[in-house]
Structure 1
Amino acid sequence: MSFRTTSWRRSSLSSRCTEQGAGVTMRRSEFLRAVDTEFQARASSLVNDLGLSALRGRTALEALADGTPPREIWLALCVEMDVPENRRHGVGRLEPRGH
């Protein structure tokens, strides 16, 4: 079961959350896609249950609810789960549509 069907994703959190800075923006939808792609079956439990050291022990879900930028949460999750550097940046984005 994909974590995308869990109740936290359907919450009132804005899907327009973005992080500005250093030319990097990550929407909440991109964060969700990145987590789902990288962690597959474990995605839901990681987002809901794993306390992230870089986020003062908060889970990704708690950090999203507190307004933490999705990119910051994604990078904290990557560090905690030892995701290789080459799989951390630019993930979650869809390919541009052709004209």
Structure 2
Amino acid sequence: MRITAFRALLADEFGAPLAETIAHDHVFGALGGRTVEQALDAGIPAKEIWRVVCEVFEVPPERR
């Protein structure tokens, strides 16, 4: 998954303002205590990050 596609999914699911907050401020234990931005910078694949975000925020399976 490309990072641009990941960002579009995040914005579509949560709305642009909340997506930005999630990406910059929410720390995910499953990402090694990183935010989305830190995980991307660390080279974690966007698809893996998306799975973690979906699990944590209980995104329904049909929108994952």
Task: Normalising by structure 1, report the TM-score.
Answer: 0.61
Q: Which amino acid aligns with 2:35?
A: T
Q: Give the CA deviation at 1:59.
A: 0.4
CA-based RMSD:
0.8
**2:61: which partner in 1?**
85
**1:30: which partner in 2?**
5
Q: Which amino acid aligns with 1:57?
A: G
Q: Does 1:49 align with 2:2?
A: no
**2:50: which partner in 1?**
74
Tell me the alpha carbon deviations over residues 17-76 of structure 1, each in whole angstroms, 9 at most, x when there is no partner: xxxxxxxxx100100100010010311000001111211221000000001000001111
Task: Normalising by structure 2, report the TM-score.
Answer: 0.93
SS at match of 2:59: coil
User: Matches of 1:57 and 1:80 in 2, distance apart?
Assistant: 13
Among the aligned pairs, what percent are the same residue? 38
Aligned residues: 63
Greater helix fraction, Structure 1 or Structure 2? 2
Residue ranges of structure 2 left out of the alignment (5+ in a row)? none
SS at match of 2:49: helix
Residue ranges of structure 1 left out of the alignment (5+ in a row)? 1-25, 89-99
1:53–1:80 contact (8 Å) kept in structure 2: no
**1:23: which partner in 2?**
none
**1:58: which partner in 2?**
34
User: Matches of 2:33 and 2:61 in 1, distance apart?
Assistant: 22
